[in-house]
Structure 1
Amino acid sequence: MARPEDAAVIQAAMPRLLDLFTTYLREMRPEELRGSIGTHRLREELIARANMAVAPAARADQPPTRIADVLFVEILLQ
């Protein structure tokens, strides 16, 4: 996030964010995640979904909240 005040907007959108992420990840196949290009595509898709999740929570009197990146701590393929 670009601004510290965006944390509250993201926290408020967390249930929607988790739903969007979970729905997307359940549809993925392991072969879609192989290699660095797979991780890059996953990151781009999660950023897009995160920005969709926080858009409705943004206030009209402030610039829109934008998610700039996603940090992968661990990826487990089953």
Structure 2
Amino acid sequence: MSKLCIISIFTWVFLISFIKETWLIPRYFAIFLREKLKFCNKNLIFCEYHKKFVYNFYWWFINALKWAFFFLSVVSF
């Protein structure tokens, strides 16, 4: 039982720190995309589509990690 409590506490601490760190990532990620896609002046439609796809994939990945750690901590109780 104590192992499960330790795992749960560790998971919650990691989850909280992970969520806290990811609040700043979207801003830096958007700046990175804007700088990375500046060369795309000729094909603007493709660049906008690519930017939205990468940004949506990023949010899907982060949310999947958050839910995975949440369910791991719930199951460990």
Alignment TM-score > 0.5, same fold: no
TM-score range, shorter chain: 0.3 to 0.5
TM-score (norm: length of structure 1): 0.42
* Greater length-normalized contact order (CA 8 Å, ≥ 6 residues apart): 2
Task: Please say which structure displays the higher CA radius of gyration.
Answer: 2
